[in-house]
Amino acid sequence: MSGQSYALKFDEYGNTREFFVYSSGTGISGNSFINKGTAFSEEERDRLGLTGLFPPAVRNLDKQVENSRGKVEKKVDDIERFIYIRSLFDRNVTLAHALIRSDIARYMSIIYTPTVGLACRHYSSMFRSANGIHFYPGNIDRAEDVLRRFLHRDIRVAVVTDNQGILGIGDQGAGGIAICVGKLMLYTQGAGIAPWHCLPVSLDVGTNNEELLNDDEYLGWRHRRLTGDDYINFVQRFARAFRNVFPNALCQWEDFSKQNAFAIRDAYLHDLISFNDDIQGTGAVALAGILTAMRIKKERLRDQVFLIHGAGAGGIGIAEQIETALCEEGLRVEEARDRILTLDSRGLIIAGMDHLPYKKKFAKNPAGLAWIKDDKDRQLENVVRNTGVTVLIGTSGQAGCFTREVVEAVLAHTDRPVIMPLSNPTAMAEALPEDLYEWTGGRVLIGTGSPFAPVSFGGRTYRVGQCNNVFVFPGVGLGVLASGAREVRPEFFTAAARAVSDFVSQAEMNEGALVPDVTALREVTLKVACAVGECAIRMGVSRPCSFSTFQHNDDPVRLDELIRKMRWEPNYLPLVAM
């Protein structure tokens, strides 16, 4: 057992059915995966050496959740609520996830956006217990040894960050691991990947955040960021170790700078089972909203003209996903790219100018842009007027840049404009939903990046659908794991987008919603996972699932059964004393 206090016993689907425990007393109550707290029965307390460690009364899981909800609501603000839920997770992961499940819409905003951004900023001062792995130049040479310590947990998903591009607040140094922890909690909530199978990883290559470098309490590697070959070598050492130790696990890259995000995603496309959620998850959920809009409009995707204002990881990720979907509808790559316009801070991206490599494939040939006489003609409103844009997407972080004039310019090309201000947080949204409904006389179809309250206009109430990546990445992960996919293909995300869109009911579309409600997260994730797994089979990249003895044999019906039954539920499991 190599000193481990427990072992996992799986059923044929790879789902944990019980724990074998090799310790007693505080060795059990102090382990967050097997601790039940006051829910330990009298028989368990006697059998496991817990007698006297808890008050006499037994409080079952439902009562524990009720009690915890009351404690959460008594906290003075969301950061205190975050601290409470995280500390609960550190004591008792089953109770923490049962609590979150009890009101996913409420608690997701606490464990993840927007509250987790504050947690990143205050990570060092708030630090209470270790979560995940911190690699830095002092230990990266021992990466394999460090990772092997987690073999007993049967790691299936890792979320890995270099902490540089956090949630619109940039370089947060060691604090970025809070994002990984939050994302993995959503993997558990949506996909049912048990917490012990999840691994947060920080690649601490330093920070250029002066506030952190000058903070005596900062817990990270107190140096400026590695760059160039030093940075590349650091990431390579991690990737090689991860592949060697967990060859069948999924690696999700998270919150890298936009330049590094594309380079790393592409470098390990075939060497690791990996993807970048900021690029591909964002692209898929935006595409899902667009596909729902096409259902409402009864129009084809290939007949639209798309403009993406903001050419970072998310914006180019959306462009890539639209391109993949257009090609699936029969367009050639060149034809698909002709229908996608991208703008950065200098305006429309044009070939022949000095652009970062990841932007170049969507750069437009200036020979076909006679209406551009000087740089001011490349700006948003003029581009919309001259290119027939019908779908306008914002990932720029420029609050209010979708002005009335810009929106009216889109409206001149289509009776039902699709406008998606996706920048987070709310204060950075390119337009407010109530303004968009007013400016278009209620004809607009909206998807947002931040949560917004319903809008009343013209005697109707519209639900504003939030294009949240949580609808995509847990299902992609589950579908990849169940199908045994040996790599993550772009087509997986198109399949995910179609599954998310198909989940939106006619009643929801009548209310103006382009994506499902987050309360349906588990059901949406199931649909996405099945779609992704079946896509892997069709593309010939599936193989036997390494986490289960029940094999799908490339049969979609068996695959769906495996996906359904390998999902963990937040219920206490039996403990077998050894």
Q: What is the pLDDT of residues 355-399, one digit of tens each?
A: 888 899 999 999 888 899 888 899 999 999 999 999 999 999 999
Tokens of 136: 């830095």
What is the average pLDDT score of the chain? 95
Number of neighbouring beta carbons within 10 Å of residue 62: 11
pLDDT band at 167 (very low <50, low <70, confident <90, very high): confident
Question: Is the domain of 307 the same as that of 343?
Answer: yes
Same domain, 235 and 254: yes
pTM comes to 0.95
Residue 183 domain-assigned (yes or no)? yes
CATH code (residue 339): 3.40.50.720
The 3-state secondary structure of 471-490, one letter per residue: HCHHHHHHHHHHHCCCCCCH
Instruction: Identify the band that residue 12 occupies on the pLDDT scale cut at 50, 70 and 90.
Output: very high
Backbone angles phi, psi at 460, to 5 degrees: -125, 155
Instruction: Tell me if 51 is assigned to some domain.
Output: no
Query: CATH number, domain at 160?
Result: 3.40.50.10380
Cα distance between residue 19 and residue 194, in whole Å: 13
Residue 431 pLDDT > 60:
yes
Question: What distance in Å separates the CA atoms of residue 16 and residue 21, rounded to the nearest whole number?
Answer: 14
Q: Are 258 and 317 in contact (CB under 8 A)?
A: no
Burial of 346 (0-12, 13-18, 19+ CB in 10 A): middle
pLDDT band at 76 (very low <50, low <70, confident <90, very high): very high
Question: What's residue 4's pLDDT?
Answer: 81
- Residues 305, 404, single domain; the answer is yes
In angstroms, the CA 240 to CA 234 distance is 10
Same domain, 486 and 345: no
pLDDT in tens, 288-299: 999 999 999 999
Residue owning tokens 């591909």: 280
Cis ω before 357 (30° cut-off from 0) = no
Q: Indicate if 308 and 430 belong to the same structural domain.
A: yes
pLDDT of 193 > 90? The answer is yes
Reply yes or no on whether the pLDDT at 67 is more than 60.
yes
- Where among 252, 272, 292 does a domain terminate? 272
Which tokens belong to 214? Answer: 């000058």
User: What does the pLDDT average to over 469-480?
Assistant: 98
In a domain, 87, yes or no: no
Instruction: List Cβ neighbours of 504 (8 Å cut-off, separation of 6 or more).
Output: 292, 295, 465, 513, 514, 515, 516
How many other CB atoms sit within 10 Å of the CB of residue 264?
24
Q: What is the pLDDT of residues 520-572, one digit of tens each?
A: 999 999 999 999 999 999 999 999 999 999 999 999 999 999 999 999 999 99
Cα-Cα end-to-end distance for the chain: 12
Q: What is the pLDDT of residue 2?
A: 46
Strand-pairing partners, residue 306, are 340, 391
Give the CA dihedral 55, 86, 452, 516, nearest 10 degrees: -80
Say how many domains are in the chain: 3
Residue 285 domain flag: yes
Do 253 and 317 lie in one domain? The reply is no
Q: What is the DSSP letter of 289?
A: H
Tell me how far apart the alpha carbons of residues 444 and 407 are, in angstroms, rounded to a whole number: 9
- Which pLDDT does position 354 carry in this prediction? 77
Nearest to 89 by CA among 160, 173, 186: 186
Tokens of 326: 């257009």
**Residue at a domain's end among 255, 272, 289:** 272
Clarify whether residues 442 and 551 are in a common domain.
no
Which residues are designated catalytic? Answer: 112, 183
What value does the mean pLDDT take over residues 410-420? 97
CA 572 to chain centre: 27
- Indicate if 209 and 321 belong to the same structural domain: no
97-115 per-position pLDDT tens digit: 999 999 999 999 999 988 8
pLDDT band (50, 70, 90) for residue 3: low
Same domain, 432 and 524: no
More confident call, 137 vs 578: 137
Q: What are phi and psi of 575, to 5 degrees?
A: -115, 125
Q: What percent of the chain has pLDDT over 90?
A: 89
- Asked if the structure places residue 384 within a domain, the reply is yes
- Kindly state whether residues 295 and 429 are assigned to the same domain: yes
Q: Which two tokens stand for residue 72?
A: 């959460």
- Tokens read off for 493: 């995300």
Characterize the bridge pairing of strands 340-344 and 306-309. parallel
Q: pLDDT band for 1, please (50, 70, 90 cuts).
A: very low
Residue 64 lies inside a defined structural domain of this protein:
no
Q: How many Cα neighbours within 13 Å face the side chain of 450?
A: 22
Q: What is the mean pLDDT of residues 273-289?
A: 97
Contacts of 155 (CB under 8 A, 6+ apart): 197, 198, 199, 246, 249
- The answer to whether residue 312 sits within a structural domain is yes
Q: Which of 228, 251, 272 is the last residue of a domain?
A: 272
Q: Which two tokens stand for residue 453?
A: 């309250």
Adjacent-strand bridge partners of 420: 393
Instruction: Check whether residue 232 and residue 366 sit in a common domain.
Output: no
Do 356 and 212 belong to one domain? Answer: no
Residue ranges making up the domain that contains 295: 280-468
393 membership: H or E segment, kind and range: strand 391-394
Domain assignment of residue 5, yes or no:
no
